[in-house]
Structure 1
């Protein structure tokens, strides 16, 4: 009888040990997944936050011919690593080139997407999106007339020298105040097109 009791007890202890091992294994797996999830959440949280910032910055963008054509300043620039974007507070942009009247663009905020092969979808061009109290102004020049554009959103593509918007815009020029939805401006040719729902009002001249 004693050998049988010993064998039964051994089987019982083996079963208990197996159950304990399974329980510990389940706890370890659950704990590992939980810690991994917390670490991923922490990493994700870190990536969402800016990894650096610059105050009172001054930046000059060179054209393909290595001639300066965009001068950008702002109160603060931050980099968002998750999207690889730059967010600028109170941006001030001057566009200038030989034989062209300079154009000044100001806004409350800007988001810059730079060319990149490491993000998806791949960015083929630099894009600057301007938000809130956006103003584009071109003074009277030898080859151009005064122009002032006001809107709450603009998109600037420096490589193509284009300024576009699909939001309501107001244009002041030659004593005419025009309102429209959407616009396309080509800074190279100094031409601007209002896209839809265009309304114009001629201001009275005061002698």
Structure 2
């Protein structure tokens, strides 16, 4: 017997068939889509000049919103609003009104991200304790009556103007926590 390896023609045919199968599988497979690509590039609906209200009858809380334009994308699970305003009416807390150039609503309304000329007012215009807030970005968490930002913010109350970077404002307890670079001016 010789020391050469012995290959039968059926075994060679089987190896070629397996390699050919893998090669054809790679050729016919659809190209992988980039995870950043939106499968649905067009909005599934657009609404203009809208307003709405959400009422919690047990706690007598009303949340109102309005926007010039609402755009929703099926693949995003995010709702985009242009020229948005939100109002939180809670009999146990001061009125809270927010306005922004844009807003994104995520997690079925649990998180709202306001961007561009964000303006917030706590209290009514005739109240002495009225507080105003200006920033370029604000994260609103309506169920917790909480707003946060890590951007520059200007707070005005009575004759005092406060500049800071970063803020957490809990309207339920009326507490404002300023994060850094805080300066105050008494007018």
TM-score past 0.5 threshold: yes
Assess, with a 3 A threshold, how the Cα gap between structure 1 residues 29 and 147 changes in structure 2: closer, same or farther: same
Alignment of 1:134-173 (within 5 A): 134-138=118-122, 139-140=124-125, 145-173=129-157
Query: How many corresponding residue pairs?
Result: 175
2:175 counterpart of 1:191: yes
Q: Which runs of 5+ in 1 are unaligned?
A: 1-24, 116-124
Task: Provide the rounded CA distance (Å) in 2 between the counterparts of 1:149 and 1:128.
Answer: 17
Quote the offset at 1:197 in angstroms: 1.2
Q: Deviations over 1:138-169 (max 9, x none)?
A: 23566x70111000000000111101111110
Assess, with a 3 A threshold, how the Cα gap between structure 1 residues 175 and 126 changes in structure 2: closer, same or farther: same
Which structure has the bigger radius of gyration? 1
Aligned to 1:74, which of 47, 67, 77? 67
State TM-score, norm by structure 1. Answer: 0.70
State TM-score, norm by structure 2. Answer: 0.76
Quote the offset at 1:87 in angstroms: 0.6
Structure richer in helix, relative to its length? 1
Q: CA RMSD in A?
A: 3.2
Q: Which runs of 5+ in 2 are unaligned?
A: 1-20
2:88 counterpart of 1:104: no
